[in-house]
Amino acid sequence: MSAKKIHRNSIIGQQGVNLIERVVLGMGFVWYPTGGVEAGIDGVIEVRNPLTGEATNSIVQVQSKATTNPFQAETETSFEYLCSAKDLDYWLQGNAPVILIVSRPQSGEAYWVSVKDYFRHPSRRAARKVRFDKERNRFDEGCGPALAELAIPRDAGVYFAPPPTEETLYSNLLRVSRYPKRLYIAQTEYREGRGIHAKLRELGADEDNEWMLKRGSVYSFIDLAEEPWDKICDQGTVETFDSEEWAYSDDPDKQREFVQLLNRCLSAKARAMGLRYSKDLDCYYFRATGDLSERKLAYQGIANETTRAVFRGYPKKGKPDEMAYYRHSAFRGRFKRFGDDWYLEITPTYYYTWDGRRPDRFYEDRLKGIKQREKHQAVRGQVVMWAEFLGRDGTLLESLYPLLEFDELLKVTVEAGIDDEAWAAHGEEHRGTGHEDDLELFR
């Protein structure tokens, strides 16, 4: 007498159902396995409000397909599943929404689509094939809002308040943590800045940038009573002031003068950090490497250490050894005051050259093209990169540029976050239907 046997496929099928139940319960919803006789539905999900515990009597029917093998036409990002004609005809009948969940229980992977939404197109129905995207179609606890949208009729009047979450919002404002405490003013016989530059070169002095010439007077964060300025300024007219008298003045002229001096310091700091400045395009950019090879910058992102190519060449089509142009990461900076703090507003951009130094003649077209392609997340990453780079202070013993230092981006933590999935519309736009949702938040 032969013993009763349970086929291995039955075990795998039950493991798939168990995986679905675990995910559904993690959403705060209720799972009802069909059990016994069933024609193509393995269970039912009832939507429940996880905050109040209220059940809605709104359901989604589930068909589970589990395997231990590679999926059909599987790649790192996608795979396909061919539905049988009988299954598909059955799922598309009736008025209850049906989802197909294909899983690999051993690895904890599960992916889903709304059957009636996906096969709304006649061509897809004829092909009977579902193409799963492993990112967009993943079945996990984050699918709750999309399932609720699928299950609850629009006129039902049911509303789930978003769960309480905290969210950190990052700005593009980098706080100024240090600027010179003293500001110096002295009269001079020079009436043009180039005359002062010529005199500095004659004296063999560094042509420091932390000064400006205005109405026959030199304004500077550098002591004008010391060399080489004692050879340029009338020493009997040297005056010193607290910089805050300009930094927090309501006089527009004083504010402009203070910002001009901050910009002079930013220019000197950028030069010390290996950046160049384009006067025509008003931006700072990473200079080319000596051999025009790619330069990568390692920096601390919002969550992890990361790297970015801040200078690289792009070869001509069909000529891999001949460069068409070089792209430099760049930024435009504007100093702004909010309350008692000064900030550098960072606007990321790019600078294009044809030889590492001279501007590429197709600069505008190249910049327009990349701006159209880049999404919000890429821009945020560049802001974070520039903030981290400009915030570097040198070594423990010596500051890289002590006259101007930054600490961190202005950020705000709010007590109510936004669930990205809740933005998706009912039907083909929400997660799980095979269509991409482009909405992103600046986090």
Report the distance separating Cα 206 and Cα 200, nearest Å: 7
Sign of the Cα pseudo-torsion (411, 300, 392, 352, in order): negative
Give the pLDDT confidence score for residue 159 in this predicted structure: 55
Look at the block and give the residue holding tokens 């036409």. Answer: 73
Query: What is the number of alpha carbons within 13 Å of residue 255 lying toward its C-beta?
Result: 10
Rounded to a whole number, what is the distance in angstroms from the first to the last CA of the chain?
Answer: 66
What distance in Å separates the CA atoms of residue 45 and residue 58, rounded to the nearest whole number? 8
The amino acid at residue 303 is: A
H or E, element range at 363? helix 363-373
Check if the beta carbon of residue 273 is closer than 8 Å to that of residue 389: yes
Query: pLDDT tens digits, residue range 114-139?
Result: 999 999 888 899 999 999 999 999 99
Both tokens assigned to 193: 């800045």
Q: Among residues 347, 352, 378, which one has the least CA distance to residue 365?
A: 352
- Every domain of the chain and the residues it spans: 8-162, 180-273, 274-391
- Cα(363)–Cα(357) distance, integer angstroms: 13
Residue identified by tokens 């205005």 is 214
The residue type found at 200 is: L
**Radius of gyration for the chain, computed over Cα atoms and rounded to the nearest angstrom:** 32
Distance CA 197, CA 192 (A): 9
For the chain, helix, strand, coil in percent to 5 are: 30, 35, 40
* Token code pair at residue 211: 């000064």
As to burial, measured by CB atoms within 10 angstroms (0-12 exposed, 13-18 middle, 19+ buried), residue 423 is: middle
Span 73-102, pLDDT tens digits: 999 999 999 999 888 988 888 788 999 999
Which residues of the chain carry a pLDDT beneath 70?
1-6, 35-39, 153-166, 207-208, 394-399, 415-443
Per-residue three-class SS string for 218-234: EEECCCCCCCCHHHCEC
Instruction: Give the per-residue pLDDT at 405.
Output: 93
| DSSP codes of every residue in 329-344 | EEEEEEEEEETTEEEE
What is the CATH code for 8-162? 3.40.1350.10
21/433 Cα distance (integer angstroms) = 21
Distance CA 424, CA 391 (A): 38
Helix intervals (H) in 166-251: 193-202, 244-247
Q: Kindly tell me the sign of the dihedral angle through the C-alpha atoms of 201, 203, 204, 208.
A: negative
Note whether 199 and 232 are within 8 A (CB).
yes
Q: Which amino acid is at 33?
A: P
Please check whether residue 77 is in contact with residue 62, taking contact to mean a CB–CB distance below 8 angstroms.
no
Locate 53 and state its tokens: 């515990």
H or E segment at 346?
strand 341-353
Which three-class secondary structure state does DSSP give residue 47?
Answer: strand
Predicted pLDDT at 20: 95
Task: Find tokens 């001279």 and name the residue.
Answer: 358
Tally Cβ neighbours within 10 Å of residue 428: 14
3-class SS of residue 100: strand
What's the token pair of residue 369? 């093209």
Peptide bond into 228 cis (omega under 30): yes
